[in-house]
Amino acid sequence: MSKNVHFNRLHELLDRMNVVNSGNNKAEDKPELSDQFAAYILWLDSEPMIPERTYSIHFQSESTIVQVTDLSFKINVNTLSQLAAKKLEQDEIGYCKLSLSQRVSFDAYSDNQKTGTFTIFDTTNKSQIGAGVIDFSLRRAQNISWHETNINQETRSKNKHQKPCVLWFTGLSGSGKSTIADELEKKLYELGKHTMLLDGDNVRHGLNRDLGFTDQDRVENIRRIAEVSKLMVTSGLITIVSFISPFRSERSMARNLFNDDEFIEVFIDTPIEVCEARDSKGLYKKARAGQLKNFTGIDSDYEEPEMPEIALQNSDANIDDLVNNILDYLRANSKI
C-alpha cells in the first residue's frame, strides 16, 4: 500500500472533522522550525505505538528520532468521538504530542499538504510503521535553550580521576543483577572510585512509584532512569544501573543518550529455569498462578541483548569471578 493511501485516509478523516481547510494552502510561506508539535497519526504496525518509545520520523527532506510524549486521545473513525487510550493499535488514528531529537522545518497540514506530512519507521528493521499530519507546533519548544555551565563533565571527571560511564545491567528477575551490581560497586569503592548504583526496585519506591508493569509503564520506567543515568555520568560518576529493561528499543534509546564509549551493556544471562528455581521473592510462583500480571518471562516478553559489551553466564558461577570479569573489561577500556 502506497504512503499516499495512508495520507488520503487521514485527509478524509480530518475533512469530516472540519480540520482540513483545503483552500488555505500557504505553500509560499516560510516553514516553521521546531522540535515539538501536535499531530494526527495513523498507526500501521502490528506492534502497538507506545508513548516514549523511540522511532524514526521522516519529513519531505529531513529525518530524525522521535518520541510520542503524549497520546491525547484516539479517534473512533465511525462516530468521530475521542477515546481515552494509552497506546495505538494497528489501523487506529490518534492525536499525539511529538518530541524530536533535533529541530526540523515543517508546515501545519492545513497550510501545506506536502510539508505538513511525515512517516514513521522502526529504528531496527527500517519498516514503515506509521503516517501522520501535523496540526501545529508546540510553542513551548521555542521558549527554552540549553544553558552551558562552567563546570562540565570533563572537569568533574578530572576532579574524580576517572572516566565516567554507565554499566547497564539487564536480565530476568532472579538472574542476579542486583547481587552482582552491589558487589561491583563495593569493589569499585575499594579502588577509590566514585559510583552510584540505581536499582530497579529501589527507584520504584520513589521516582517511579507511580508506574506499574504494563508495556507502557516499562517504557516510561526506562526513559526516566536513562535520563537520570545521563545526569549521573555528566556529574563524573561511574553509574551502575540494575533494571530488567526487557525491551531492546528502550535499551537502544538509553544507549543513544550517551557517547559511544560511555554505555556498557551488561547482560546477566541466566536461564529462566534457574531464575524460577531461585525465586527468592516468590514472584514467579505468583505469576504462574495468575496472581501477578505482566511478569517478564511469563506473560511479558524479555528481548535478549544482541551485542552486549559484557555477557555473564550466571547459572552457578562464582560472584567474585563475574565481578572480576567486569573489572577486567573496565581496565582494558581505560575506565578505571
Top pLDDT among 19 and 189 is at 189
180 and 320 both lie in a single domain: yes
Is residue 165 assigned to a domain? yes
Distance CA(221)–CA(328), nearest Å, equals 30
Pairing of strands 165-170, 263-269: parallel
Share of the chain above pLDDT 90, in %: 60
164 and 77 both lie in a single domain: no
Helix (H) or strand (E) holding 192: none
Distance CA(35)–CA(105), nearest Å, equals 9
Question: What's the confidence (pLDDT) of residue 111?
Answer: 86
Instruction: Give residue-wise pLDDT tens across range 297-318.
Output: 898 889 999 999 999 998 888 9
**Whole domain around residue 322: which residue ranges?**
153-332
Give me the chain's average pLDDT, please: 89
Tell which residue, 174, 193, 155, has the closest CA to residue 326: 193
Q: Is the pLDDT of residue 133 over 50?
A: yes
Instruction: Give residue-wise pLDDT tens across range 230-255.
Output: 999 999 999 999 999 999 989 999 99
Q: Is the pLDDT of residue 23 over 50?
A: no
- Catalytic positions are 245
Tell which residue, 297, 48, 54, has the closest CA to residue 170: 297
Top pLDDT among 187 and 5 is at 187
Is residue 119 assigned to a domain? yes
Question: What's the confidence (pLDDT) of residue 29?
Answer: 62
Please tell me whether residue 134 adopts helix, strand or coil conformation: strand
CATH of the domain at 110: 2.40.30.10
Task: Determine the average pLDDT of the residues in 117-127.
Answer: 91
29 and 130 both lie in a single domain: yes
173 and 313 both lie in a single domain: yes
Rounded to 10 deg, the angle between the 248-255 and 215-234 helix axes is 20
312 and 253 both lie in a single domain: yes
217 and 308 both lie in a single domain: yes
For the chain, what is the domain count?
2
Is residue 147 assigned to a domain? no
Question: What's the confidence (pLDDT) of residue 290?
Answer: 87
Is residue 182 assigned to a domain? yes
Is residue 213 assigned to a domain? yes
Domain final residue pick, 108, 142, 176: 142
Task: Determine the average pLDDT of the residues in 156-177.
Answer: 94
Distance from CA of residue 188 to its chain's centroid?
Answer: 28
DSSP-assigned letter for residue 31: P
222 and 263 both lie in a single domain: yes
Task: Determine the average pLDDT of the residues in 135-159.
Answer: 81
Pairing of strands 63-75, 82-83: antiparallel
Taking CB atoms within 8 Å and a gap of at least 24, the contacts of 83-91 are 86/51, 86/214, 86/216, 87/48, 87/49, 87/50, 87/51, 87/215, 87/216, 88/41, 88/43, 88/48, 88/49, 89/43, 89/48, 90/43, 90/44, 90/45, 90/46, 90/48, 91/42, 91/43, 91/44
157 and 135 both lie in a single domain: no
Is residue 17 assigned to a domain? yes
Instruction: Give residue-wise pLDDT tens across range 272-304.
Output: 999 999 887 888 999 898 888 888 889 888 999
Q: Is the pLDDT of residue 132 over 80?
A: yes
Transcribe 234-284 into DSSP letters: HTT-EEEEE-----HHHHHHHHTTS-TTTEEEEEEE--HHHHHHH-TTSHH
Instruction: Number of helices (H) and strands (E) in the chain: give both, helices first.
Output: 9, 12
Name the band, by pLDDT with cuts 50, 70 and 90, for residue 225.
very high
263 and 320 both lie in a single domain: yes
Domain final residue pick, 142, 176, 193: 142
72 and 169 both lie in a single domain: no
Distance CA(187)–CA(272), nearest Å, equals 28
Greatest mean pLDDT among 12-21, 28-37, 183-192, 213-222: 183-192
Is residue 161 assigned to a domain? yes
Rounded to 10 deg, the angle between the 319-332 and 177-190 helix axes is 60
Domain final residue pick, 115, 142, 169: 142
Is residue 148 assigned to a domain? no
44 and 87 both lie in a single domain: yes
CATH of the domain at 263: 3.40.50.300
159 and 215 both lie in a single domain: yes
DSSP-assigned letter for residue 48: P
> How many other C-beta atoms can be found within 10 angstroms of the C-beta atom of residue 97?
18
Strands, E, within the chain: which ranges? 32-43, 54-58, 63-75, 82-83, 93-106, 117-121, 128-137, 165-170, 195-199, 238-242, 263-269, 310-313
Do residues 196 and 165 make contact, with C-beta atoms less than 8 angstroms apart?
Answer: no
Runs of H (alpha helix) within 73-170 = 153-160
What does the block give as the cell for 106?
515543517
Share of the chain above pLDDT 70, in %: 94
Question: What's the confidence (pLDDT) of residue 318?
Answer: 92
